[in-house]
Copies of this chain bind each other. A is one copy, B any other.
């Protein structure tokens, strides 16, 4: 379980919303979750849980939770990253770092994905909670739609020197 997870180019992670019907393998899912749980967390609290879905009926059902989730009709994997607010006031940050690790590891595996925000929208949280049976003590942070890319995007940064402050603001 300590095989390296290389990300050949961090700039190559782009939001991919079109997918082929080729499934994501159990080994790939395992790699994505190993990457997720390699993220840092405050005090090493690890206030995260991961629900993954490959069943077509549930992927199609999740489309309805979110007005921008239509790509789940094509995606062959969805990971719902969840946090436990009672475990850490940093849960949202820790779970976001884990999410970025999943997206980068997917890129490294030749997969693509897109981060669909759920928290802090109350209606989306309720919809995801009901569909996936998530307990009240746990908050769904997002849905990540994942699959084999059916679109190609150039590597890029959106570096903007106007957002950089040297020494002081």
Contacts and interface: CB of A to CB of B under 8 A. Distances in A.
Interface of A: 1-2, 4-13, 15, 33-35, 37-40, 42, 44, 46, 48-55, 58, 89-90, 92-94, 96-97, 99-101, 103-105, 108, 114-115, 117, 120, 132-135, 138, 141-142, 155-160, 163-169
24 contacts: A2-B155, A4-B9, A4-B155, A5-B9, A5-B11, A6-B9, A7-B104, A10-B104, A11-B38, A38-B157, A38-B159, A39-B100, A40-B100, A40-B114, A42-B117, A49-B163, A51-B166, A52-B166, A54-B167, A90-B117, A92-B93, A93-B99, A97-B115, A100-B100
Query: Lowest 9 A-B CB distances belong to which pairs?
Result: A96-B96, A4-B9, A7-B7, A97-B100, A5-B10, A133-B169, A38-B157, A93-B96, A34-B157
Contact of A156 (B38, B49, B133, B157): B38
Q: How many copies does the complex hold?
A: 2
| Interface core residue of A58, A92, A101, A165 (most chain B CB under 10 Å) | A165
Contacts of A167: 51-55, 58
A136 to B, nearest CB: 11
Given A10-B7, A38-B10, A58-B167, A104 B104 contact: yes
A123 to B, nearest CB: 13
A57 to B, nearest CB: 10
Contacts of A4: 8-12, 155
